[in-house]
Structure 1
């Protein structure tokens, strides 16, 4: 062991020690930034589905809005109407502009997917009926929306829409 120290000292003789007088700032975690950018990208991707010009064929009997994605069981609409599905997420769009409502709707659909929630309630309110008419038109364009129906009285009645989302 002593021989090794002597050998080391002989090899390092005449070497000047390095002066360390700079501080290196710790690196920021890039995962946070990537997560934030991914969330923005996902929201933009979801917004891609919402065209204002698209006019879907919605079933509107007696002012009741309903939609069933092709290939889904027709019994889903009856279950939504009766209130068999309890919404786990609620979105209130009162007082929002169309663009704000579109962003919130995209965020709701992303939340449903990430939280694995299959039923949500969207409060459109009465107001000028602008959002009440537009929200279903946007929703039917999204591939994750299985069905929608005007909410039963206990979940908002005429002023709300229940949606079923594929999780």
Structure 2
């Protein structure tokens, strides 16, 4: 049966001739127009810094009295414990009460960036407990808990002590800015 198929195939292929080999041309180097270069540069700059990169999509809802605790690797346990216990002087405060999610996100980003640039390390963020927020309780609080770990300058955060607002506020510890790091290196290399 296979011999019969092979014979049939060869019979059909008798008048087929191989294609002559075409010359392969070298592609000339592509040079984008000035307009294309400008569009590409604008797109790259837009990708570098999106001031609203914090997600407004799905969030795990927290209860109004759920504590929040976040600490990046490398933060000393003593430093985190002091933050958690409210032992550091609070150098700046942000009040997000009554803000929409969009306003809160924008203000949080600008506040953290401004404090980091100015060398402010310990902050207090008032977001409220959200007991009466609709359609779900603690929506703003849930988003603040989601956003803080996404901010590169934030080293740690924890629910505030009662005297600073309790569950309606959060302590935030920022990393040192470039100038503070330089001063710290100089101080430790002199000895």
Give me the TM-score of the superposition, normalised by structure 2. Answer: 0.57
Structure 1: gaps spanning 5 or more residues: 1-40
Counterpart of 2:107 in structure 1 is 104
Alignment partner of 1:152 is 2:161: yes
Does residue 142 in structure 1 map to residue 151 in structure 2? yes
Alpha-carbon shift at residue 161 of structure 1 (Å) = 0.4
The root-mean-square deviation of aligned C-alpha atoms, in Å, is: 2.4
Aligned residue for 2:150, secondary structure, equals: coil
Deviations 1:122-156 (A, max 9, x none): 00112321111110210101111000000112221
2:123 counterpart SS class: strand
- CA distance in 1 between partners of 2:118 and 2:77 (Å): 26
Distance 2:119 2:105 in 1: 21
Matched residue pairs, number?
Answer: 121
Q: Give 1:82 deviation, angstroms.
A: 1.2
1:115 to partner: Cα distance = 1.6
Matched, 1:47 2:56: no
- Alpha carbons 1:126, 1:159 under 8 Å: kept: yes
The correspondence for 1:92, drawn from 91, 95, 98, is: 95
Please report how far the alpha carbon of residue 79 of structure 1 lies from its aligned counterpart in structure 2 after TM superposition: 0.9
Alignment check: 8 A CA contact 2:71 2:156 kept: yes
1:4 counterpart residue number: none
Residues 66 and 77 in structure 1, CA contact (< 8 A), matched pair in contact too: no
Which runs of no fewer than 5 residues in structure 2 stay unpaired? Answer: 1-45, 177-191
Query: Do structure 1's residue 74 and structure 2's residue 77 form an aligned pair?
Result: yes
The Cα of 1:71 is off from its aligned counterpart by: 2.1
Stretches (4+) displaced over 6 A: none
Alignment of 1:124-143 (within 5 A): 124-127=127-130, 128=133, 129-143=138-152
Alignment partner of 1:64 is 2:67? yes
- The structure whose residues are more often strand, as a share, is 1
